[in-house]
A and B are shown apart, each in its own frame.
Chain A
Amino acid sequence: MENTTAFTQPVAAETDSEVRSLHAMCLNESEVQHPWWHNFKFSVVGIFFGIVFVKAEIISWFRIQEMFRLESFHMYGVIGTAVVVGVISVFLIKKLNARTIYGERITFTDKTFNKGQIIGGLIFGLGWAITGACPGPLFAQIGTGALVITVTLLSAIAGTWAYGYLRDQLPH
Chain B
Amino acid sequence: MEFLTQPWSWWVAGIFIGLTVPILLLLGNKHFGISGNLRHICAACFPANIKFFQYNWKKESWNLFFAGGIVAGAAIASLWLQDPNPLQVHPDLVNDLAAVGVTNIDGLVPTDLFSWDSLFTLRGFLLMVVGGFLVGFGTRYAGGCTSGHAIMGLSTLQWPSLVATISFMVGGFLMTHLLLPHILAL
Which residues of A are at the interface with B, using a C-beta cutoff of 8 A? Answer: 2, 16, 19-20, 22-30, 36, 39-62, 64-69, 71-87, 89-90, 92-93, 98, 100-102, 104-114, 116-136, 138-146, 148-149, 151-165, 167, 170
Contacts and interface: CB of A to CB of B under 8 A. Distances in A.
Contact of A24 (B11, B36, B72, B87): B36
B55 A87 contact: no
* 6 smallest beta-carbon distances between A and B, as pairs: A125-B171, A46-B69, A50-B73, A81-B14, A85-B18, A120-B141
A155 B155 CA distance: 30
Interface string B42-56: 100010101111111
Given A126-B174, A158-B133, A141 B109 contact: yes
Given A159-B137, A163-B52, 5 more contacts: A23-B140, A53-B73, A56-B10, A68-B175, A135-B34
A126 B179 contact: yes
A159 B129 CA distance: 10
Main secondary structure of the interface of B (DSSP, over half): helix
A87 B155 contact: yes
A125 B71 CA distance: 23
Given A45-B20, A49-B20, A151-B128, A161 B9 contact: no
Summarize A's interface: helix, strand, loop or mixed.
Answer: helix
A112 to B, nearest CB: 7
Nearest to A66: B90
B138 A161 contact: no
Given A87-B154, A130-B127, A151-B128, A93 B70 contact: no
Given A90-B22, A126-B134, A153-B132, A160 B108 contact: no
A3 B116 CA distance: 45
A144 B109 contact: yes
A158 B41 CA distance: 10
